[in-house]
Structures are given as C-alpha cells and as structure tokens.
Chains A and B, each alone.
Chain A
Amino acid sequence: MSDTSKTSLLALSPRTKQRNAAEKRFRAYGVAAIAIGLLMLTVLVTNIFSRGTGAFQQTFVTVNVELLESKLDKKGNRDLEDIKKVTTFGYNPLIRDSVVAKVEELGIQTDLKAKDLGGILSKGAVGQLREFVIANPDKIGETIEFRFLAQSRVDGYLKGRVHRESIGNDKSISAEQLDLVDQLVDAGVIVKSFNMDFITGADASDQRPEAAGIGVAMLGSLSMMFVVLGLALPIGVAASIYLEEFAPKNRLTDIIEVNISNLAAVPSIVFGILGLAVFINYMHLPTSAPLVGGLVLTLMTLPTIIISTRAALKAVPPSIRDAALGVGASKMQAVFHHVLPLAAPGILTGTIIGLAQALGETAPLLLIGMVGFIASNAPETLADGLLAPNSAMPAQIYEWAKRADPAFYERAWGGIIILLVFLVTMNTLAVILRRRFERRW
C-alpha cells in the first residue's frame, strides 16, 4: 500500500466515509422516488376533489311566478294544444317579472333593467316553467313559488370562480348584477344547495353549464358494461379453460398464446379503429350506440380476463383434478365440476378488474362517435339503451373538458369524482373477494 499514514479502527478513513455517504445518498434517492410517486398521487387526488366537489352544489334562485292567463292561454279555455303553442320565448316576460317582483318586494334599490334582472337565472328556467305549465294547465292564473337554477356566472361567483375583476368583458354578467346577487344571497333568495341533477341528469348545451349532469352518460356506461360482462366473461373463461386445461402443446397453441399477450399490449385506440371499420363501416351498426362501445371494450378486455382466469385455473392444485379423474369423472367433468368452481373467485376478481379498466377507457369511444352530441334523454327501453346514441362517463368528461366555458371544467372534475367512486368500489369489491375466498393450497 502506498498510503503510509496511520489508520485507526475508531476513526473512519476518508474512503469509508465517502462510501458511507454514497450509501446514504443512494438510499435517499430511493426514498425521494417513493416520495415523488406518493406526492403525485396526493396532488392528483387533492386536485380532483378540490376542483370537483363544486359540481355537486348548485346555486338556486327562489321566486314567485305569476302564471298570467293573458300570456299563456289567451283564449282562456285551457286547451292543451293552445297552451303548447306558446313557445319558451313567450314565457320570458313571466320569468323576468318574477325577479323584478322579488327585488321590489325585498326593497332592493337597483339601476338594472328588467332584462338584466331576469338574466341572473339560467336560460333553462323558461323551459322548466313551460314544462310545469303544460303538466298542470289548471294552475294558470295562480302565483306559484319556483326554484330555478341560477345562471353559471352567478353560480361561479358564489363558488369563487367568477370575480368582479375577471368579468371585464363578459357579456353574460355585470358588476351591478353581482351586487344584486350579494343582496339576494343576504335575503336568502339565492342559495347554494346539493345538486342531485348533476348525478342523475342529462348533459346540457354549451349555453347552460349549470344544468349539465352525468346521469344519462352513466346509463350509457352501464349498458356498455353489461355488454362487456355478457360477452367477455363467457368467451374469456371458455378460451382460458381450453388453453389451460385441454390445449395440446403445439404450434397453434403457441400462436394463440403469443397473440393474447400481444393483444393485451395493443394501444386502446387501435381497438377503436377496429370498431369503426368493422362494426360501423362494415356491419352498419348505429354510430354512438353503447352496443358498439360494449363490443369494442369486450375485445379490449378479453386478454385481461383470459390472463387472470388462466392464473386462477393454474392456482387450483393438480390433486383436485387427479382425484376427480380417479373416481371416474371425464376430463371435462373434472374441469367443469371441480376446477372451475374452485377458480371462480379468482376469475371474478379478474373480471371485475377488467371491467373497471373498461369503464375508464376513453380513446376507442371517441372513434365510434360517443362524443360530440348531447344525449338529452335517458333511454326508455333495454333495446334503446343498447342501440340509441348515448355517451359514456369518460367520453362525457372529455366532452366537457373540450368546451370553452370554464364552468364545464368543474363539471368534468365532478364527473371524474363519480367515475373514481365507481372504480374504487369495483376494485375494493375485487380485493374483498380475493381476501374472502382466496384459498391457499
């Protein structure tokens, strides 16, 4: 050794110190990596919840509307056909007057014109009023208390999204209107409350973000999941049983196996192209139908289900099969009567995870046209649910994210909360199933 200086057992040599420092640093990198990952998760989750919970609350305005006979039923004979002839446009004055009356009743001083006073309500208020009148023609002439949605800027003001400084060149709202809103809030006319319509309702047009809901898209997703479950589970299980229990070890089986593992890694958008080319262009199934979405997602989920089912079948010990064969069961009987029931919890777990994956998938749905239109009515029959154009939850979220009005962004985050609630429930169910029924042999 060229180093001739004295070394002590008690003091660390510089080289050891260096090596220990490197050790510490290396360890710190690892901790930092985990911390970054967990930090990202926290940021993502807090971001979703802080921006999305607003969608579950909505601002409502309570006013008394006088259903003037002179406007709604000029002939006075309560003929439904005549009442239906009055368009939503004809209801506008009633709505306007109701806000004016409320403001006067409360003694609020304002320079706003009647039109601007009515402007704090949603554009959908007239529709709501018209529906009510058509459903209850006998109420014409009475004064009735209504709870209308406030327009999205008012809602945003109460939620802190819209400020006086930020509305400089916004045509939909003015600072005077916000002053009025402040006073109406103090008087308890404008209140923010839980918004069930967001969970059960349909999407609304660009102009009315305050009325948009995710309920119809949820039904669309549900129909697709039924299709996926109905097709992917039986086909996946059958394919796994063949590959795991019966397939001879030959070239064809090899090809199938390689195929399945490759299919699992094909980008989801490619399945969308397949769906567009085969189901829509070739077979002329209706565009935007949940049936087509379900078929595409079935093809996408199939490899996942096959892989997990095969693992579940593999986990059943050979002694079970041997015992069944030993008492005279045929091979098919051994599989269907003994192996399959024992593998069922594992298969179910894999299926639920595959379904959860399919539920959140968006890209293929864009190509088969499940975005870009407004599904305004819930499907009425089962066949309608499968064949009538509809959206799906992730496609609806994408649709909202694309729109220009920031009020829709809140909807998108809110939609994500609902989507995540579904996913968490499904995954928890899968974990519980696994814990509860998994057997160690």
Chain B
Amino acid sequence: MPTLWLVVSLLVLSAAGFVFGRQRAMSSAEGNAKELHSLPSYYGHNVAFTTLIPALGALAIWLLVQPMFIENRVSGMIPAELVPEGSSLSLMMSDVRRVADGLDFAVDNGVLSGAEASAMDAANTDVRAFLAGIGVALGAEVSPEILVAAQTYRQMSNTGGILMTVLVAVLALAGFAWSYMQTHKDFRARNVVEKGVMSLLIFAASLAILTTIGIVLSMFFETINFFKLHNAADFFFGSTWAPNFRGDSELSILPLLWGTLYVSFIALLVAVPVGLFAAVYLSEYANNTVRSFAKPLLEILAGIPTIVYGLFALLTVGPLLVGTFGKGGFLGVEWMAGATSVLTAGVVMGIMLIPFVSSLSDDIINAVPQAMRDGSLGLGATKSETIRQVVLPAALPGIVGAVLLAASRAIGETMIVVMGAGAIAKFSGNPLESMTTITTRIVSQLTGDTDFASPETLVAFALGLSLFVLTLGLNVLALYIVRKYREQYE
C-alpha cells in the first residue's frame, strides 16, 4: 500500500522537523531559551505542522478527486453505441475497472511486466481466459474497447499515483524547508502555530456540516436519477409497491409509509404510557433507594443494541404471538399466519423506547417548579390530583416534544422492523398481518446484487431522503416545541 508508506514517511519527516526546528531556534538564541519569542517547542511544532498538514491535505484531496477525474476521461472513451441493450455505461465502467484490477494483479504477481500489460491486445490475446488463469474471474468477454479503456485506466491511475507522490513529497519538503528557514529567535512561532491549530479546530467543527451536506447530496443526486427513470407522481401518490426486474415496477412510498407509521404508532402505544407513568412515579413518588436502582436498570434497555431487540422480536415475541393468535394457538383463533407482524415489531420497539420516553419526561417533570406543587397540595389536592392537574399540564409541551423525538426514533429504526415486521407492502388495519416499512425496503433494495442504473435500486435513495426529511422534520418540531414553552415558569 504505497499511500500508507507515503503517510508514514510524512509522519517521520514531520517528527524530524520538530527536532530540527527546535534545535535551530535554540541555536539562533545561542542556547538561551529566554531570548526566544516563544517557547522552544513552538518552533518545533511550527516546522512539524508546516511539513505535515498541507501535504496531508493535498493527499486527501487528490485521493478524492482522482477517481472522479479518471472515471470521466475513461468513460468518454467508450463509444455510446457499444453499450449493449439493457446495460449501462456504469456497468461497462465496472467491467473496465475489473479488467484493470486484473492486469494490476497480474503485474503484482510477476505474471506480466508493466510494459506487457500496456501492450496487450484484445485481438490476439484472450484476456478473459488469461485473467481466469491467474485467478481473476470476469463476467463477460473483454472487447477491444474495454481493454483499451482498462489499459488507459490503469495507466492514468499509475501516473496519478506517481504525480500524487511527487506533489505530496514536494509540498512536504517545501513546507519543511520554508518553515525551517523562517525559524529564528525573533520569529513569532507561537502565534503562527496557534493560528494553524485554530484553523484545524474550525475544520473539525465544520466536518459536522460537511457530513450533513454529504448525506443530503449523496441521496439527492441519486434521487434525481431515480425520478428520471421513474414517475414521481407514482412514487408519491401511487398505491402499490411491487418492484420487479422486467422494468414495469410500481414503486410507491405510501404503502411503506403506512407500515412505518402503523408500527411506530403501536410502539408509542406501548412506550408512552409505560414511560410516562414510570417517569411520574420515579420523579414524584419514589424514594431515593428505588430511584437509584430503578432508573439505571430501565436505562439499560436503551443501551441494548437494536439487533438484540430484532432477534427478540423474530425468535421470541413473534412465536409467542403466533402461539396466542395463530393456528392451533392458545386462543383457538386463526388470526396470525407468521411470526412477523406489525404487532411483533411494534411491541418490541415499544420496549426499546420506554427508557427514551421515561428519561426525557423525567427531566421535564423535574423542571416544573416545586412552588406549583406546593400551591396545589396546600389547597388540599391529593398528590395524584396535583400531578394530573398541575404538574403534567405544566410539563406538557416538553412531554409532547419527548413523544415526537420517540416517534422520530421509531420511524428511523431499522433492525427491529427488518427482522420483525415482514416484507409485504400493503394497506391493512390488522396489526397481526406482516407489513413492511421504509427502512426495511431500503435495506432490501440496497443489499445483494445491486445495479445503480435501475429504478429498483435507486428508489432506496428516494426512500432514504424521504426518511431523512421526515425524521428531521419531527426533530425540528420537537425542539421547537420544547424551546418555545420551556422557560414559561422560570
């Protein structure tokens, strides 16, 4: 891995920079650190950072841009008429990459020399058989254009790699030399280093924004691609979800949205009463002993990974429900066919959300001023009347916010519904039937063999974007409600 070695040598150079920079500063002050403008280590840091950071930055940018650049150039080489029916340029490009990787592999293992790989000609070599001989399997015959494209791809990647190494090395050495020359006892090293560190801090903080932009853009472009291939009206307002590979898929979000909301509703039906009563009891009735063991124990439920809940739904709760409502079951009715159902996923998700609702509500109830309780109790109300008529109404906006946050969690939850809710998209009011959700479909459309040129795969990005907007909207609404009403009593 040459990039790894490049990074390692950068680190070594930068460490050397620290030592030399510090030494030069000390010698320019004739060994007397008091003569220096800054502490000696700042001179070292200055050289080390100037060596390392621009070079690393260039490396990162190069690694990001090079694939895009090469991709563009090489895909321009494949004539449009060569793309077979039912295939696409991106599929051809993946063939090109595979051939190029195969050639690289051959060169690495000494089967071919670099020159031979570049000179190989599809007319008189069977490239597929040759690559299969060294253990690289290809899906299709290699046409001359693909081979040429692959050779160009290889050549450009190699040249790119060399150019990158040269650029990074030059930057590092130049940074080293420049900062080393600058080092002098009057050089304001601390100010320079602090400015550099500050810009690194700012960069780290803006990564959060970059991530959001990345999320939105990555889904946005693919969603646009999806709407080019598929009717937007069908996606938003259609009534059937039926992907197939003949190309006439009906991909509508509504049945999935129904399943998602139904499962979330059942989850909230479990989590909100239990969580709320638990919070009320813990904050208003429980003594310290009960509080100190019940609260952490309840919060364990929130720390358990969702895969555990998923397995619990699939293998414990599902069979239990079938044993109750299913054929030959405990109730003697035949309402449930399989272990996966809206109820299975909803109940388990509800259990997961109990601590979420209870700890949020607990904080909010505790924030209601004691004077309000005292006033109510002083007028002769019982404790429960005080809670119902004074504390809860005062805490209501916060509790609504908490419930909305819980709903957003429920809508975005994946593993429990993947394992517990089933795969059939339909509108039905029966909680014992299996239904599917947005997150489940995202997983099923994006796992296994995917073709990023078909609407069946791209729909996952549209679903993802819808999910993102939905959960974000709920969060913003929740925060807005909490913020707006929070300070009313302070």
Identify the A interface with B (CB < 8 A): 19-20, 22-23, 25-27, 29-34, 36-38, 40-41, 44, 47-48, 51, 234-236, 238-239, 241-243, 246-247, 255-256, 259-263, 265-274, 276-278, 281-284, 299, 302-303, 306, 330, 332, 356, 359-363, 366-367, 369, 371-372, 383, 394, 397-398, 401, 409, 412-413, 416, 419-420, 423, 427
Is A267 in contact with B208, judged by CB distance below 8 angstroms? no
**Which residues of B have CB within 8 Å of A369?**
447
Closest to A406 in B: B315
**A241-B201, A361-B305 known; A38+B206 contact, CB < 8 A:** no
The yes or no answer to B301 lying at the interface (CB within 8 A) is yes
**26 residue pairs A–B, Cβ–Cβ below 8 Å:** A26-B387, A33-B273, A34-B278, A34-B281, A34-B294, A36-B274, A37-B301, A37-B355, A38-B298, A41-B297, A41-B298, A41-B300, A234-B204, A256-B209, A259-B212, A262-B212, A266-B215, A267-B412, A267-B414, A272-B446, A274-B211, A276-B446, A278-B218, A332-B198, A359-B305, A360-B304
Closest to B388 in A: A26
Closest to A271 in B: B215
Question: Within the assembled complex, what's the spacing in Å between the Cα atoms of A306 and B207?
Answer: 12
**Which residues of B have CB within 8 Å of A235?**
204, 207
**Which residues of A have CB within 8 Å of B312?**
44, 47
Per-residue A-contact encoding for B412-429, CB less than 8 Å = 1, 0 else = 111100110000000000
**Shortest beta-carbon distance from A343 to chain B in Å:** 15
Is B304 in contact with A44, judged by CB distance below 8 angstroms? yes
Max chain B C-beta neighbours (<10 A), residue from A32, A266, A383: A266
Closest to A19 in B: B382
Closest 5 CB pairs of A and B: A267-B412, A360-B305, A30-B281, A33-B277, A26-B384
Question: Within the assembled complex, what's the spacing in Å between the Cα atoms of A367 and B447?
Answer: 6
**Which residues of A have CB within 8 Å of B418?**
363, 366
Is A398 in contact with B415, judged by CB distance below 8 angstroms? yes
**Which residues of B have CB within 8 Å of A366?**
414, 418, 443, 446-447
**A273-B461, A302-B207, A363-B439 known; A40+B412 contact, CB < 8 A:** no
The yes or no answer to B486 lying at the interface (CB within 8 A) is no
Question: Within the assembled complex, what's the spacing in Å between the Cα atoms of A41 and B447?
Answer: 32
**Which residues of B have CB within 8 Å of A330?**
190, 194
**Which residues of B have CB within 8 Å of A423?**
303-305
Is A363 in contact with B97, judged by CB distance below 8 angstroms? no
**Shortest beta-carbon distance from A42 to chain B in Å:** 9
Question: Within the assembled complex, what's the spacing in Å between the Cα atoms of A284 and B71?
Answer: 11
Is A306 in contact with B208, judged by CB distance below 8 angstroms? yes
Per-residue A-contact encoding for B1-30, CB less than 8 Å = 1, 0 else = 100100000000000000000000000000
Is A416 in contact with B311, judged by CB distance below 8 angstroms? yes
**Which residues of A have CB within 8 Å of B467?**
267, 269-270
Question: Within the assembled complex, what's the spacing in Å between the Cα atoms of A49 and B472?
Answer: 37
**Which residues of B have CB within 8 Å of A272?**
446
Closest to A30 in B: B281
Per-residue A-contact encoding for B303-317, CB less than 8 Å = 1, 0 else = 111111011101110
**Which residues of A have CB within 8 Å of B475?**
262, 265
**Which residues of A have CB within 8 Å of B198?**
242, 246, 332
Question: Within the assembled complex, what's the spacing in Å between the Cα atoms of A51 and B275?
Answer: 28
**Which residues of A have CB within 8 Å of B303?**
356, 423, 427
Question: Within the assembled complex, what's the spacing in Å between the Cα atoms of A330 and B194?
Answer: 9
Is A268 in contact with B212, judged by CB distance below 8 angstroms? no
Q: Which of A51, A242, A255 meets B202, CB within 8 Å?
A: A242
**Which residues of B have CB within 8 Å of A37?**
274, 278, 294, 297-298, 301, 354-355, 358
**Which residues of B have CB within 8 Å of A397?**
307, 311
Question: Within the assembled complex, what's the spacing in Å between the Cα atoms of A412 and B219?
Answer: 33
Interface of A is mostly: helix
The yes or no answer to B448 lying at the interface (CB within 8 A) is yes
Closest to B275 in A: A33
Question: Within the assembled complex, what's the spacing in Å between the Cα atoms of A356 and B302?
Answer: 12
Within 8 A of A (CB), among B412-465: 412-415, 418-419, 439, 442-443, 446-448, 452, 460-461, 464
The yes or no answer to B385 lying at the interface (CB within 8 A) is yes
Question: Within the assembled complex, what's the spacing in Å between the Cα atoms of A29 and B207?
Answer: 46
**Which residues of B have CB within 8 Å of A273?**
215, 218-219, 442, 446, 460-461, 464
The yes or no answer to B95 lying at the interface (CB within 8 A) is no
Given contacts A27-B285, A401-B315, A423-B304, list 7 more A-B pairs with CB under 8 A. A235-B204, A238-B205, A330-B190, A332-B198, A362-B415, A369-B447, A416-B307
**Shortest beta-carbon distance from A429 to chain B in Å:** 13
Question: Within the assembled complex, what's the spacing in Å between the Cα atoms of A241 and B194?
Answer: 13
Question: Within the assembled complex, what's the spacing in Å between the Cα atoms of A268 and B307?
Answer: 13
Q: Which of A47, A267, A302 meets B439, CB within 8 Å?
A: A267
The yes or no answer to B123 lying at the interface (CB within 8 A) is no
Identify the B interface with A (CB < 8 A): 1, 4, 63-64, 67-68, 97, 190, 194, 197-198, 200-209, 211-212, 214-215, 218-219, 222, 273-278, 280-282, 284-286, 294, 297-298, 300-301, 303-308, 310-312, 314-316, 351, 354-355, 358, 382-385, 387-388, 405, 408-409, 411-415, 418-419, 439, 442-443, 446-448, 452, 460-461, 464, 467-468, 471-472, 475-476, 479
**Shortest beta-carbon distance from B453 to chain A in Å:** 12
Question: Within the assembled complex, what's the spacing in Å between the Cα atoms of A241 and B207?
Answer: 14
Q: Which of B214, B281, B294, B384 meets A274, CB within 8 Å?
A: B214
Interface of B is mostly: helix
Question: Within the assembled complex, what's the spacing in Å between the Cα atoms of A247 and B448?
Answer: 45
**Which residues of A have CB within 8 Å of B1?**
383
Q: Which of B197, B205, B308, B412 meets A268, CB within 8 Å?
A: B412
Closest to A243 in B: B205
**Which residues of A have CB within 8 Å of B200?**
238
Closest to A236 in B: B204
Q: Which of A34, A256, A274 meets B298, CB within 8 Å?
A: A34
**Shortest beta-carbon distance from B71 to chain A in Å:** 9
Question: Within the assembled complex, what's the spacing in Å between the Cα atoms of A259 and B273?
Answer: 31
Question: Within the assembled complex, what's the spacing in Å between the Cα atoms of A416 and B316?
Answer: 14
Question: Within the assembled complex, what's the spacing in Å between the Cα atoms of A243 and B286?
Answer: 38
**Shortest beta-carbon distance from A334 to chain B in Å:** 11
**Shortest beta-carbon distance from A206 to chain B in Å:** 16
Is B308 in contact with A48, judged by CB distance below 8 angstroms? yes
Question: Within the assembled complex, what's the spacing in Å between the Cα atoms of A367 and B297?
Answer: 33
Question: Within the assembled complex, what's the spacing in Å between the Cα atoms of A325 and B453?
Answer: 59
**Shortest beta-carbon distance from A315 to chain B in Å:** 18
**Shortest beta-carbon distance from B279 to chain A in Å:** 8
Is B205 in contact with A269, judged by CB distance below 8 angstroms? no
Closest to B38 in A: A330
Question: Within the assembled complex, what's the spacing in Å between the Cα atoms of A277 and B351?
Answer: 33
**Shortest beta-carbon distance from B174 to chain A in Å:** 26
Question: Within the assembled complex, what's the spacing in Å between the Cα atoms of A416 and B68?
Answer: 41
**Which residues of B have CB within 8 Å of A282?**
67-68, 218
**Which residues of B have CB within 8 Å of A394?**
305, 307
**Shortest beta-carbon distance from B209 to chain A in Å:** 5
**Shortest beta-carbon distance from A341 to chain B in Å:** 16
Is A20 in contact with B464, judged by CB distance below 8 angstroms? no
Closest to A365 in B: B307
Is A265 in contact with B408, judged by CB distance below 8 angstroms? yes
**Which residues of A have CB within 8 Å of B285?**
27, 30
Q: Which of A41, A243, A260, A269 meets B464, CB within 8 Å?
A: A269
**Which residues of B have CB within 8 Å of A276?**
446
Q: Which of B68, B212, B300, B311 meets A263, CB within 8 Å?
A: B212
Q: Which of A265, A281, A371 meets B452, CB within 8 Å?
A: A281
**Which residues of A have CB within 8 Å of B388?**
26
**Shortest beta-carbon distance from A398 to chain B in Å:** 6
Max chain B C-beta neighbours (<10 A), residue from A22, A265, A427: A265
**Which residues of B have CB within 8 Å of A262?**
212, 472, 475-476
Question: Within the assembled complex, what's the spacing in Å between the Cα atoms of A239 and B285?
Answer: 41
**Shortest beta-carbon distance from A30 to chain B in Å:** 3
Question: Within the assembled complex, what's the spacing in Å between the Cα atoms of A38 and B472?
Answer: 31
Question: Within the assembled complex, what's the spacing in Å between the Cα atoms of A349 and B22?
Answer: 35
Q: Which of B97, B204, B215 meets A270, CB within 8 Å?
A: B215
**Which residues of A have CB within 8 Å of B63?**
283
